[in-house]
């Protein structure tokens, strides 16, 4: 009987899985706006999760946390994106950290050299597209 009880308890325990990588605030403090280049950023905090997907050459670091519970489909409970923007000369112009709160993008921190926020449309698309990947569509299956 105790084996069955143990199986029920273990089966009803939530498991958490992390995907991706986001640099810490301490690591990001080493990146200097207006000083560092793409190469020095990659040396300081590592290569980006996604870079230049929209053709702009910026770096994006993405981390998600999923909750797996019993027979239910995995649920994304946390998502964080760090966006590092570069100017035309390849020098860091902006460092931003975004979170996902109640389905809306929330800026958690921002270091900018100008007062405009660029690439928010891309970030909205990035947040919306993560987790909605359909392998059948890529492979051409009906």
Residues 5-43: b if buried by 16+ CB within 10 A, e if exposed: eeeeeeeeeeeeeeeeebbeeeebeebeeeebebebbee
What integer pLDDT is reported at residue 106 of this predicted model?
Answer: 54
pLDDT in the model for residue 63: 87
DSSP-assigned letters across all residues of 75-104: EEEEEEEEEEEE-TTSBEEEEEEEEEETTE
Mean pLDDT for all residues in the chain: 74
Highest-confidence range of 36-45, 69-78, 112-121, by mean pLDDT?
36-45
Query: Which pLDDT belongs to residue 117?
Result: 47
The rounded distance, in Å, linking the Cα atoms of 8 and 6 is: 5
Between 4 and 77, where is the model more confident? 77
Give pTM, 2 decimals.
0.61
């Amino acid at each position: 009987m105790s084996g069955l009880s143990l199986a029920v308890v273990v089966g009803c325990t939530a498991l958490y899985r992390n995907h991706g990588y986001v640099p810490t605030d301490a690591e990001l403090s080493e990146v200097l706006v207006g000083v560092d280049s793409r190469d020095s950023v990659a040396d300081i905090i590592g290569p980006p999760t996604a870079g230049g997907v929209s053709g702009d050459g910026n770096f994006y670091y993405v981390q998600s946390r999923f909750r797996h519970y019993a027979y239910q489909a995995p649920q994304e409970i946390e998502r964080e994106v760090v966006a590092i923007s570069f100017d035309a000369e390849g020098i860091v112009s902006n460092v931003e950290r975004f979170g996902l709160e109640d389905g809306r993008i929330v800026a958690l921190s921002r270091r900018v050299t100008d007062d405009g926020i660029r690439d928010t449309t891309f970030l909205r698309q990035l947040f919306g597209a993560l987790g909605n990947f359909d392998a059948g569509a890529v492979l051409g299956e009906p």
